[in-house]
Structure formats: C-alpha cells, structure tokens
Amino acid sequence: MSDHIVLETRGLTRVFGERVPVRALDGVDLKVTAGEILAIIGPSGSGKSTLLNLIGALDTPSSGEVIIDGTPLTQVRNLDSFRGKTIGFVFQSHNLLPTLTARENVEVPMYELRIGGKKRRARAVDLLDLVGLAHRADHLPSQMSGGERQRVAIARALANEPAIVLADEPTGNLDSATTADIMALFARLNQERGLTLVLVTHNTEVAAAAQRVITIRDGKIQRDVSMGSEIERELLLFKSSVLGQAIMRGDALPPELAAIAPGLSHLLEGV
Ligand SMILES: Nc1ncnc2c1ncn2[C@@H]1O[C@H](COP(=O)(O)OP(=O)(O)O)[C@@H](O)[C@H]1O
Ligand SMILES: [Mg+2]
C-alpha cells in the first residue's frame, strides 16, 4: 500500500429538508490511501449511503468538500465524465441492463470515454475473465446467478480503471457463501491490481475482511480502526454476536461472565 491519498473529505456535511432539516452527514473528515479496503459500518439511517453518494459525486454536499485523486469535485467541469473515468460503482442491486449480455454490460461505461468497439470488447472480455466469468460473456443477466451478476457488476465498475471503487451493500442480496466469494474477489483485486475500495455494509463479517473499519453514527465518524491484527477482526466479529451485543448493552450476565464483562466491553468499544 502506498501513501498516496486517493480520496479525502473535509468537513463533509449534508442536510436534507428545509423546514425540518436532517443532518444526514455532519462534518466528516476522511482520508483514504490508494490500495486500501475501507469498510463503513453503522446502524440504518446513520449516513453511510449519504457519505458514499457524496464521495461518488452522485449528490452535492451542503458544506465541506470531496477531493478525489487531488481534484476537488467543486472544480470539476464535467462531473459525468470525471465520474466515469475515476470512480466505479457497485450497488446492492446489480443494476445490469437486462437486454444486454454480460460483455455488453461491462462495455457500457467505456462509451463515456469513447473507447472504440474492438478495444471495448477486448477489455470487457479481459475483465470478465478477471472476475472468473469469461464463459458467461454472452449470457444475459437473467441467465446468471445472483453472485455471477454481482461479479459482472464488479467487472463493469472496473471498466475504466477507476482510481476508486465505491460499493454500497454489495453483498446485501447474496447468501453467506456467495458473500464470501465476492469478498474473496475484492481481496484478490486489491492484491493483484491495487484496487482501492470503499465499502458500505451492515454485515460485520464483510467488514472484518477490510483493512480498516469506520463506524458512522448520526452522520459522524464514531470510530476509525485499522484491522492490524487478527485479534481486532475476532473482536469485531464477537461484538456482533448475541453475547457481544449483551455485553455492549450492559445486560445482566452469568457471574463468571459478569466478572470479565467490564474489561470486554472496554475492548469492544475500541473496534
Ligand atoms: N434524499 C433524502 N431526503 C431526505 N432525507 C434523506 C435523504 N436521503 C437520506 N436521508 C436521511 O438521511 C439519513 C441518513 O440516510 P442514509 O445515508 O441513507 O443512511 P444509511 O445508508 O446509513 O442507512 C436518514 O435519516 C435518512 O432518512
Ligand atoms: Mg444505505
């Protein structure tokens, strides 16, 4: 991992509504290094999607700024073109066009860069090969499984070799085995291609696969933890377990656990 900052937010704030304003995001400062996998977790409504949409220039901040690869978004003349070149998106729903084959779907973002037909096709086939779907190139989305469709969506996100890929609950519609496959694919792309990934998830197992986990609450960054060691991963997983939740809530526990609960809850606070 280099120390090149590929994404930075400064005081990023988004207020929705006028009469009853909701501060969906409240002064978020964030730096993401090239080659990092960052997971954003937090309760429903905490501002995760709002943050991702602002980073991806799909929404405009009320105040503060987003800087992608050294360029403040406010200085970008043609946002559509900038977005197409610099950012890849993966959503919970794959959003593939149903009448296009896998290969044609992967080619879609390349039109923005006016890449010629031959090169477009070759690159799409390479990307499908990269995600293990060369044999599905001519299939329609309806002829593929949920996990395969999401892999096509990942290949499409990589179409223009973006500086950063943003994924909002990319495994939200998948079973746990397929979720593990998709996370393994992201990890391989990270290792082989230096993929920089910002991933929103409410699945702690997904988050534990990241190198860094940010917790958002009420539009603010509450915790920012580097998963430097196996212990931090295990603690994060334990935190979402029934027992971990009980300890965090301060529930009454059997005596043998009550004795160590204060120490554990302190440890869990840190992840
Ligand atoms: N377009 C919008 N208009 C009004 N309120 C919104 C809009 N988008 C999000 N919000 C509100 O902002 C808060 C954060 O939402 P969101 O970022 O979608 O949360 P999360 O993705 O963490 O579940 C919520 O209170 C939500 O109701
Ligand atoms: Mg959301």
What integer best gives the mean pLDDT of the chain?
91
The domains of the chain, with CATH numbers, are 34-50+76-227 (3.40.50.300), 241-271 (no CATH)
Is there a contact between 266 and 239 (Cβ–Cβ < 8 Å)? no
Name the token pair of 252.
């009454």
Quick one: CA torsion of 83, 157, 164, 204, rounded to 10 degrees?
Answer: 130
Interatomic CA distance for residues 124 and 212, integer angstroms: 30
What is the rounded average pLDDT of the residues 133-149?
A: 96
Q: Which of 18, 28, 50 to mutate to test the pocket of ligand 1 (most atoms within 8 A of CB)?
A: 50
One-letter amino acid for residue 234 of the chain: E
Residue with CA nearest ligand 1 atom 16 = 47
Q: Which ligand is nearest to the CA of 47?
A: 1
What is the rounded average pLDDT of the residues 45-65?
A: 96
Q: Give the closest residue to 107 by CA, choosing from 167, 156, 161.
A: 156
120 lines ligand 1 (CB under 6 A): no
Q: How confident is the model at residue 262 (pLDDT cuts 50, 70, 90)?
A: confident
Q: What is the pLDDT of residues 69-124, one digit of tens each?
A: 999 999 999 999 999 999 999 998 989 999 999 999 999 999 988 889 999 999 99
48 lines ligand 1 (CB under 6 A): yes
Output DSSP code: residue 137.
T
Beta bridge partners of 172: none
Q: What is the pLDDT of residues 185-231, one digit of tens each?
A: 999 999 999 999 999 998 888 888 888 999 999 999 998 888 766 66
Is there a contact between 181 and 215 (Cβ–Cβ < 8 Å)? no
Interatomic CA distance for residues 52 and 64, integer angstroms: 14
Q: What is the pLDDT of residues 237-249, one digit of tens each?
A: 778 888 888 888 8
- pTM for the full predicted model: 0.87
Cα–ligand 1 centroid distance for 268 (angstroms): 27
Residue with CA nearest ligand 1 atom 13 = 24
17 lines ligand 1 (CB under 6 A): yes
Dihedral sign of CA atoms 150, 152, 155, 159 in order: negative
pLDDT above 70 as % of the chain = 97
pLDDT above 90 as % of the chain = 69
pLDDT of residue 34: 95
Name the token pair of 12.
């990023």
